Structure 1
Amino acid sequence: MSDYSPSRAPASAAAALPATVWLIAVGAFALGMASYVTAGLMPMIAAALSISLAMAAQMVTAFTLAYGLGSPLVVALLPARAQRCGLLLALGVFVLANGASALASGFSSLLAWRAMAGVGAGVYLALGIAAAAGVSAPPQRGKAIGVIMGGMAGGTVLGVPLSLLLAQQLGWTAALWLVAILGALALAGLLWQLPALPAAPAISLRRKLALLADGQVLVILLVSLLAAVASLGMYTFIAPLLAWSAHGAAMSATPFLWVWGVGGIVGSVLVGPWADKLAAPRLTMFILLLLALALGALPLAAGWSAWLMLAPIALWGAAGWALQVPQNQQLLAVRARQGDGNLAIALNESALYLGSAIGAATGGLMLLLDWPAWLLAAAAAVVAAAALLLQSGLVRRS
């Protein structure tokens, strides 16, 4: 089992995080924008390229599949001594692909560049999380990972609306240029500030893939998958739940989406110091409890008033985003001796994307069967509770 135990050295804990961590977070901000902005750009792109909305939606599919399936393969094949080069190259590919997407003259080339951007994004985040932990003092590693996740949450919550507003004024390509520029700024800073990273142990691809036989890793990944089904999957259905709620049928979903996102930023940042004080498995269990309670409270609050949903939505966003800080800590700790923590993190990101897709598809089916919207939130709470039970078993065995 994991020998994870947070350091409590007060002198190191008081030191500021290295500049490298903040630069990686800027890249994560751009990644958060790129992951979600395309969905908002679809009508503009469809009109500009004379394609259907259904066809334009395949850009999201290409990015997601490349991110979730392609990036773990690239991380697995990355040479042991290429950690710094791999991080910079992944961010460079991400910047190039977003710039090329803005210049694409046809849908086929645009689709290919979105897939390339997805691979670059997935590899960058996996290596970036590991690098942020590696350049930080042991008592600050949880805080460093929290800053990276906060950057991605900020890109989703703040960057996406900003880029969509820019697109409305200057055209859809402006949003992608903004992503590319932010990524390029992070790349320039990292070229200057990123120190040499320790070489990972030189192990064969077969040995790297052996982590899939590690029972503890599989449980951690399954917990992430279930949490994503509950949290990210339910995010897709905030508007239907709002329409079902008391006095909410005529209300805009935008304030509720913003509250969820702001909660995510706050949760990502605030969990960092706690992750450096508490054992990661127990912190994960506590966050899962908050997530289950928040999702369970949603239909109860909605039954009274739509505005009462704001509190559980904020807690849900905070818990959903904060969860990945101790999850990534656990994976790095569990696979430290084997030297394949980067691959474990990449697989964790894949689990999140897969869980989001499963949650969205399942919720869509429930609505297609005319099940009430409150039942989606209740089902999400049950899934979060299942993840909590699974995590509690992991804590008991550790």
Structure 2
Amino acid sequence: MHAHTPSSIYLIALGAFALGMASYVTAGLIPMIEAAFSVPVAVAAQLVTAFTLAYGIGSPIFVALLPADNQRWGLLVALTLFVIANAASALAESFTTLVTWRAVAGIGAGVYLAMGIGASAAMCRPDHRGKAIAIIMGGMASGVVLGVPLSLLIAGQFGWQAALWLVTALGFIALVGLLLKLPALPAAAATSVREKLAILADGHVVAILLVSLLGAIASLGMYTFIAPLLATAEYGGVRSVTPFLWVWGIGGVLGSFLIGPLVDRIKGPRLTFAIMLILAGSLFALPFSAAISKWLVMLPIALWGAVGWALQVPQNNELIQVRQAQGDANLAIALNESALYLGSAIGAAAGGFMLLLQLPIWSLVVAAGAVAAFGAMLQIVNLRRLSRWNDQSEVEPNS
């Protein structure tokens, strides 16, 4: 245990930075890959599907199968797999091979992030854990906001493979650093796969995961449609959405980092409740502020990005607190990450369906805000549960 933040946490965050790049850069590389392998754009887009499905579905399975008595080994193996898969993707000579390695990279990424957050919790005192998780999530957010544009710029000069080589290099640097600096981690309680699946019977865990799912549906789902919203004449008629995406992303980076100290001071369920309320309010404010000024709308966009990314810091911290004693905190975190990817997919699909029904674009924003508001209401369940636990803990010592 350290009073200060161990250097290993910053190395884990560097790996998370590479992970953030790998998660989103492929979408920007689709036109280049389409031309390189002579495949239709709809086929090239399946690279994104392969990565996200493997990440969201495969990572909890592999985390559940990893031995609990050597978390350090599991973290390093996952990062090694991620590095190898990205290097192999850059070297792929056929589209089928490329798709396969993107799926492998997705599994490695998902397992690495779950194990990395769990490792950070093991290396820090409980009152410093929120800051540690925030550093890792901030690293991932920075990889999306800063790393993706940089890698696409490099790809434009040197080819699509260069972007994946950059991801590989950053992941490799993190891997070498962790091999040298990562200490031995406490062994978790040994449990069978069947016992690990019992986590889904924990009502507290399910409530946390459901709030994460709703937050992702609202935040990441609406992110898919920010361009058509702002392109509409009555909401600004902007020609380029790039500045607004930058504002959203920078807000996300700041929110991810700044939430850490708050997590260490405020009970997680209360902080999550506040975040979901702010998320709902910022989404509801989008069409009104956009109708007034395309500059004014940057305020709710920045706030939306900040709380949308910040949400997972208290959520992951709460999952660790709830499941650490059972030895399956890493699995809980992996399930939480799966909830994010599933929520993003549901939000995008639901928004697309609403547009197919020719509903006005503002209805998507209202629906996203309503989902976030419902998540805030659901979070009241966790607040009441926390209150009951506190009451019991005060009564038991006196009984």
* Band the TM-score falls in, shorter-chain normalisation: over 0.9
Q: Distance in 2 between matches of 1:205 and 1:60?
A: 29
Shift of 1:19: 0.3
Higher mean C-alpha deviation, range 149-158 or range 136-145: 136-145
Matched residue, 2:264 = 276
1:167-209: CA deviations, max 9, x gaps? 0000000000000000000001000100001111011111000
Q: Distance in 1 between matches of 2:166 and 2:368?
A: 35
Partner amino acid for 1:161?
A: P
Q: Distance in 1 between matches of 2:4 and 2:243?
A: 34
Q: Distance in 1 between matches of 2:48 and 2:252?
A: 22
Matched residue, 2:323 = 335
Describe the shift of the 1:242–1:286 C-alpha distance in structure 2 as closer, same or farther (beyond 3 A): same
Matched residue, 2:216 = 228
1:75-107: CA deviations, max 9, x gaps? 000012221011001000000000000000001
Shift of 1:137: 2.0
Matched residue, 1:193 = 181
Q: Distance in 1 between matches of 2:238 and 2:230?
A: 9
Matched residue, 1:391 = 379
Describe the shift of the 1:247–1:282 C-alpha distance in structure 2 as closer, same or farther (beyond 3 A): closer
Matched residue, 1:3 = none
Matched residue, 1:142 = 130
Q: Percent identity?
A: 66
Q: Distance in 2 between matches of 1:14 and 1:389?
A: 37
1:353-391: CA deviations, max 9, x gaps? 000000000111111222121111111000000000000
Describe the shift of the 1:247–1:283 C-alpha distance in structure 2 as closer, same or farther (beyond 3 A): closer
1:162 correspondence with 2:161: no
Matched residue, 2:25 = 37
Residue 76 of structure 2 contacts residue 178 of structure 2 at CA under 8 Å; is this kept in 1?
yes
Residue 244 of structure 1 contacts residue 374 of structure 1 at CA under 8 Å; is this kept in 2?
no
Residue 17 of structure 1 contacts residue 144 of structure 1 at CA under 8 Å; is this kept in 2?
yes
Q: Distance in 2 between matches of 1:376 and 1:186?
A: 40
Shift of 1:14: 10
Matched residue, 2:313 = 325
Matched residue, 1:50 = 38
Unpaired segments ≥5 residues, structure 2: 387-399
Shift of 1:263: 0.3
Q: Distance in 1 between matches of 2:369 and 2:248?
A: 16
1:202 correspondence with 2:190: yes
Residue 2 of structure 2 contacts residue 123 of structure 2 at CA under 8 Å; is this kept in 1?
no
Unpaired segments ≥5 residues, structure 1: 1-12
Residue 245 of structure 1 contacts residue 306 of structure 1 at CA under 8 Å; is this kept in 2?
no
Shift of 1:304: 1.3
Partner amino acid for 1:227?
A: G
Residue 247 of structure 2 contacts residue 302 of structure 2 at CA under 8 Å; is this kept in 1?
yes
101, 106, 109: which one pairs with 2:94?
Answer: 106
What is the DSSP-based 3-state SS (H/G/I as helix, E as strand, rest coil) of the residue aligned with 1:307? coil
What is the DSSP-based 3-state SS (H/G/I as helix, E as strand, rest coil) of the residue aligned with 1:371? coil
Q: Distance in 2 between matches of 1:236 and 1:20?
A: 34
Residue 234 of structure 1 contacts residue 360 of structure 1 at CA under 8 Å; is this kept in 2?
yes
User: How many pairs are equivalent?
Assistant: 386
Matched residue, 1:95 = 83
Partner amino acid for 1:127?
A: M
Matched residue, 2:358 = 370
State the Cα RMSD in Å. 1.2
- Give TM-score scaled by structure 2 length: 0.95
Shift of 1:397: 2.2
Q: Distance in 1 between matches of 2:233 and 2:26?
A: 29
Describe the shift of the 1:102–1:14 C-alpha distance in structure 2 as closer, same or farther (beyond 3 A): closer
Residue 255 of structure 2 contacts residue 305 of structure 2 at CA under 8 Å; is this kept in 1?
yes
Q: Distance in 2 between matches of 1:250 and 1:299?
A: 13
Q: Distance in 2 between matches of 1:136 and 1:245?
A: 51
What is the DSSP-based 3-state SS (H/G/I as helix, E as strand, rest coil) of the residue aligned with 2:295? helix
Q: Distance in 2 between matches of 1:80 and 1:329?
A: 19
Shift of 1:246: 3.7
Matched residue, 2:68 = 80
Matched residue, 2:338 = 350
Q: Distance in 2 between matches of 1:239 and 1:247?
A: 11
1:133-189: CA deviations, max 9, x gaps? 111122110000000000000000000000000000000000000000000000010
